[in-house]
């Protein structure tokens, strides 16, 4: 059976796109591997009407609502390939199934590539954080750190200082230039240049950073901007143009969330920077509605 659309990735972006298509009475199949980017956090914040809810609960509720529509099919699995055909696209899954669709939505998200510092990865989403708007309020007024991972980290420290007393941990990297040092000093940001040996604290909590020389710096939360990678090579396989985003590759889209390949839309973290769940959902809405209108006004050859 040929679907009107196949959506690769069934989280904030993909489910939002599929919901618009379902409400337009179009057949849509959502393939999802079940590993949304924020699965490490116990609570999601800053999402209107859902502030503080667990990300898994939000996605499960959205999925249950979507499945009430008769034209929706949800598949658990991993899409491994996609190819343009004369009349649309063929998508291959890891378990050997193949699906056909007139249009595609790429909503497979990104993965964070975390620095290899002992004790860091296990605290990701709990006391090691990427976004103060998502998780800053909970650490307001506490002892905060920013880990230097890329040139933008000093700028991130200027911002984080709004939530509490902040130290920029250079972890052996070069000192910021004189202008930035002055800006950091004006914001009250301390600079710790020494390399970090590890993170300490009970369970997922953070109480200090241990430096390579054995010195301990007390701290309650550490922010960092990680590099990221697209979760799937499918955009590249299809020939979609990728751009260098501030954190890693992103799929280029226009205002309608159409990629450089006709019939292929992209939404969510894979196709934007900066990131959050509301933006991902909003992009999914744009992609779903644009895709539906393309089926009406720009049909591909049958
Ligand atoms: C630790 C952490 C905490 C966060 N907290 C917040 C917060 O509090 N508030 C907020 O607004 N934002 C938060 N974010 C950001 C938020 O997680 C992302 O912006 C959002 O998840 C992006 O949605 P998405 O649908 O684009 O991608 P994702 O949610 O990452 O979903 C992508 C989906 O595609 C699936 N997938 C991947 N490859 C394939 C494939 N080949 N085939 C099939 N399926 C595939 C994945 O398994 C996943 O289910 C947080 C991020 C992190 C890292």
Nearby residues of 184 by Cβ (< 8 Å), 6 or more positions away: 154, 157, 158, 168, 176, 191
Nearest Cα residue to atom 20 of ligand 1? 277
Omega before residue 145 within 30° of 0, cis: no
With a cut of 70, say whether residue 302 has pLDDT above it: no
CA distance 143 to 139: 8
Q: Which tens digit of pLDDT belongs to each residue from 31-55?
A: 999 999 999 999 999 999 999 999 9
With a cut of 80, say whether residue 272 has pLDDT above it: yes
Contacts 24+ apart (CB under 8 A), 76-80: 76/32, 76/33, 76/34, 77/31, 77/32, 77/33, 78/31, 78/33, 79/6, 79/8, 79/31, 79/108, 79/232, 79/234, 80/234
With a cut of 70, say whether residue 64 has pLDDT above it: yes
With a cut of 90, say whether residue 300 has pLDDT above it: no
Pocket test for ligand 1, best of 107, 236, 276 (most atoms within 8 A of CB): 276
Nearest Cα residue to atom 52 of ligand 1? 38
Tokens of 298: 């720009």
For the segment 231-256, the average pLDDT, to the nearest whole number, is: 97
Q: Which residues, listed in sequence order, are joined to residue 178 by a DSSP beta bridge?
A: none
Nearest Cα residue to atom 28 of ligand 1? 36
Q: Which tens digit of pLDDT belongs to each residue from 227-242?
A: 999 999 999 999 999 9
Measure 116 CA to ligand 1 centroid, in angstroms.
22
- Sorted by where each starts, the structural domains of the chain and their CATH numbers stand as 2-112+227-297 (3.50.50.60), 115-223 (3.50.50.60)
Going by pLDDT thresholds of 50, 70 and 90, the confidence category of residue 226 is very high
Amino acid 298: pLDDT: 83
Shortest CA distance to 3 belongs to which of 69, 60, 88? 88
Q: What is the pTM of this model?
A: 0.96
With a cut of 80, say whether residue 277 has pLDDT above it: yes
Ligand 1 pocket, residues with Cβ under 6 angstroms:
8-14, 31-38, 40-41, 44-47, 78-79, 107-109, 112, 124-125, 130, 134, 231-232, 268-269, 275-278, 280
Nearby residues of 79 by Cβ (< 8 Å), 6 or more positions away: 6, 8, 31, 91, 92, 93, 94, 108, 232, 234
Tokens of 63: 């999925």
Measure 177 CA to ligand 1 centroid, in angstroms.
35
With a cut of 70, say whether residue 284 has pLDDT above it: yes
Which region holds residue 195: left if phi is over 0, alpha if psi is between -120 and 50, else beta? Answer: beta
Amino acid 301: pLDDT: 52
Percent pLDDT > 90 in the chain is: 97
CA distance 165 to 275: 25
Amino acid 1: pLDDT: 73
Cβ–Cβ under 8 Å, residues 105 and 14? yes
For the segment 238-260, the average pLDDT, to the nearest whole number, is: 97
Nearby residues of 7 by Cβ (< 8 Å), 6 or more positions away: 14, 17, 18, 28, 29, 30, 31, 104, 105, 107
Q: Which residues, listed in sequence order, are joined to residue 227 by a DSSP beta bridge?
A: 113
Going by pLDDT thresholds of 50, 70 and 90, the confidence category of residue 262 is very high
Nearest Cα residue to atom 38 of ligand 1? 108
Q: Which tens digit of pLDDT belongs to each residue from 101-155?
A: 999 999 999 999 999 999 999 999 999 999 999 999 999 999 999 999 998 999 9
């Amino acid at each position: 059976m040929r679907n009107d659309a196949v959506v690769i990735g069934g989280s904030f972006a993909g489910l939002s796109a599929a919901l618009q298509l379902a409400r337009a009475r179009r057949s849509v199949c959502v393939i999802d591997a079940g590993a949304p980017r924020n699965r490490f956090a116990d609570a999601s914040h800053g999402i209107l009407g859902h502030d503080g809810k667990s990300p898994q609960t939000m996605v499960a509720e959205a999925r249950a609502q979507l499945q009430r529509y008769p034209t929706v099919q949800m598949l658990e699995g991993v899409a491994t390939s996609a190819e343009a055909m004369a009349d649309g696209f063929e998508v291959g899954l890891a378990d050997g199934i193949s699906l056909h669709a007139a249009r595609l939505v790429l909503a497979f998200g990104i993965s964070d590539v975390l620095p290899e510092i002992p004790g860091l990865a296990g605290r990701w989403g709990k006391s090691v954080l990427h976004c103060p708007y998502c998780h800053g309020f909970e650490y307001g007024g506490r002892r905060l750190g920013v880990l230097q991972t890329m040139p933008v980290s000093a700028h991130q420290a200027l911002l984080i200082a709004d939530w509490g007393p902040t130290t920029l941990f250079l972890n052996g990297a070069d000192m910021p230039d004189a202008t930035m040092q002055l800006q950091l000093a004006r914001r009250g940001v301390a600079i710790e240049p020494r390399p970090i040996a590890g993170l300490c604290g009970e369970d997922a909590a953070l109480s200090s950073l241990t430096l390579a020389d054995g010195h301990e710096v007390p701290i309650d939360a550490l922010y960092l901007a990680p590099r990221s990678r697209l979760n799937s090579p499918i955009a590249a396989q299809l020939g979609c143009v990728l751009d260098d985003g501030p954190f890693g590759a992103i799929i280029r889209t226009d205002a309608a969330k159409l990629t450089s390949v006709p019939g292929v839309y992209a939404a969510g973290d894979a196709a934007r920077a900066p990131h959050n769940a509301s933006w991902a959902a909003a992009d999914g809405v744009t992609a779903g509605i644009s895709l539906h209108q393309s089926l009406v006004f720009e049909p591909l050859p049958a």
